[in-house]
Chain A
Amino acid sequence: MPVRLIAADNWRPSSMTERRLLELEREGLLRHRTSLSSPEWIAPAADHREPRPPKGYVVSFAKFHRHGLGAPPSRFMRVLYQHYGVELQHFSPNAITVAVVFAAVCEGYLGMMPHWELWLHLYRGELFNGPKETTGVRKPVRAGCLNLMLKTGKTETPCEYIRWDCRRTTPDGTLSGSICGMTTAFFLPTPAA
């Protein structure tokens, strides 16, 4: 059955304030702000209904950092941006966790930098469209549309690699953009190419 796409939900105002971002900093999930001219993070203006990052900054979400994202991004993370042709806001929180675990296994257990060919062999990207009540109707999501998941081809046995239980919050087992935490948007410097 062909799928019909309808308009995406609007952005919602972010509730992230300087105080909440400083809490993330204290928890060790954000870098300390050291520069006034090019700060390591910026809180959004309270009266903006949608994120308007200043020039040289991109949108991030507090949830990403609770799932293990760090800034500035590693080379592996920058390759993920480049390969999938997306910005940070397009990753789902589960995709961030998948990339975190892969990088940690490569470095901490295999003793090497994240191996790009191994990544391509094990994982694929999936586009997430939000479900509507009507069958065959989906809506694009503004954030969190890229899921990264183990390949499950006939000849592949992904469970042989690392036991993995993603947080499941929708019937099809993915995390939608709407719960990616749109209301926790703030800004990070654009990663260097």
Chain B
Amino acid sequence: MERPENWTYGVVQVHQSRLEPLLDTLKKLRLEGLSAALVLSAVHRRRVLPLMSRPLRMDEMGPDVSSRDLEACRMSNEALADDEAVARVRVAVAGEFKPEHVNGFPMRPDAGSIDLVRSFLVHGSILDFFRSLFKLASVLAGTNRCPVLEASSNGGRGEP
């Protein structure tokens, strides 16, 4: 009983440069203090299960979308108490997580969500900002492709 080879596949080398802007952005989110516990608390606060099929992405759950779509995304219309959100986070990740940390890093499009443009300007040069913005736009333009198709178009494999 051994680990199948494709469990360690990576991305083919020629495509790795496409990931740079995303990796840069992830690093910036981390610099701003994003942690797994904060992500989970934001998820529970929004009453969404990220691995469930939904009509809207989480960043699309704003005031301008239909209430029907919002209801299809949420598991409940009732807000979750901070204590309950903390209990759910503690089930999944280790470490100290307190009620005051709930909503410490709101998701888009909620008020207080991180402005990635501002973050780029604070942590990098103007040139880096525009370079990253351009790359990020190129990547995002291709992200509506079906991941299944992306996986199967390269056989789901890259370099280990």
Q: 1/0 per position for B94-110, CB-CB distance to A under 8 A?
A: 11000000000001100
Contact partner of A162 among B1, B9, B35, CB < 8 A? B35
Closest chain A residue, CB of each to CB of B50: A103
Contact partner of B29 among A68, A107, A125, A162, CB < 8 A? A162
Given A68-B49, A100-B43, A120-B10, residue A109 in contact with residue B148 (CB < 8 A): no
| Bound CA span A103–B107, Å | 12
Contact partner of A82 among B42, B57, B148, CB < 8 A? B148
Closest chain A residue, CB of each to CB of B74: A28
Q: Is the CB of B30 within 8 A of A163?
A: yes
Contact stretch, chosen from A15-23, A49-57, A164-172: A164-172
Closest chain A residue, CB of each to CB of B95: A165
- Using Cβ atoms and an 8 Å threshold, which residues of chain B touch A68? 40, 43, 49-51, 92
| Bound CA span A124–B158, Å | 12
Is A179 in the interface zone, CB < 8 Å from B?
no
Contact partner of A126 among B3, B16, B47, CB < 8 A? B3
Q: Is the CB of A70 within 8 A of B10?
A: no
- Using Cβ atoms and an 8 Å threshold, which residues of chain A touch B108? 108-109, 111
| Bound CA span A72–B3, Å | 27
| Bound CA span A121–B59, Å | 23
- Using Cβ atoms and an 8 Å threshold, which residues of chain B touch A113? 57, 143-144, 147
Contact partner of B107 among A73, A109, A164, CB < 8 A? A109
- Using Cβ atoms and an 8 Å threshold, which residues of chain B touch A127? 1-3, 7
Q: Within the complex, what minimum Cβ distance (angstroms) separates B32 from chain A?
A: 10
By size class, the interface of chain B is: 35 or more
Contact partner of B114 among A109, A126, A160, A166, CB < 8 A? A109
| Bound CA span A83–B151, Å | 8
Q: Is the CB of B52 within 8 A of A70?
A: yes
Q: Is the CB of B50 within 8 A of A100?
A: yes
In the complex, chain B residues 47-92 whose Cβ is within 8 Å of any chain A Cβ: 47, 49-54, 57-59, 75-76, 80, 88, 91-92
Given A113-B143, A121-B10, residue A75 in contact with residue B93 (CB < 8 A): no
Q: Within the complex, what minimum Cβ distance (angstroms) separates B98 from chain A?
A: 15
Closest chain A residue, CB of each to CB of B114: A109
Q: Is the CB of A125 within 8 A of B53?
A: no
Q: Is the CB of B7 within 8 A of A140?
A: no
Q: 1/0 per position for A129-163, CB-CB distance to B under 8 A?
A: 10000000000100000100001000000001111
Q: Is the CB of A5 within 8 A of B1?
A: yes
Q: Is the CB of B1 within 8 A of A129?
A: yes
The 5 residue pairs across chains A and B that have the minimum distance between CB atoms:
A70-B52, A70-B49, A125-B7, A108-B107, A28-B75
The 28 sampled A-B contact pairs (Cβ below 8 Å) are A70-B50, A70-B51, A70-B52, A73-B51, A75-B53, A82-B148, A97-B93, A104-B39, A104-B42, A104-B58, A108-B43, A108-B107, A110-B22, A110-B25, A117-B15, A118-B19, A120-B10, A121-B10, A124-B7, A125-B7, A127-B7, A129-B1, A160-B30, A161-B23, A162-B29, A162-B39, A163-B30, A165-B93
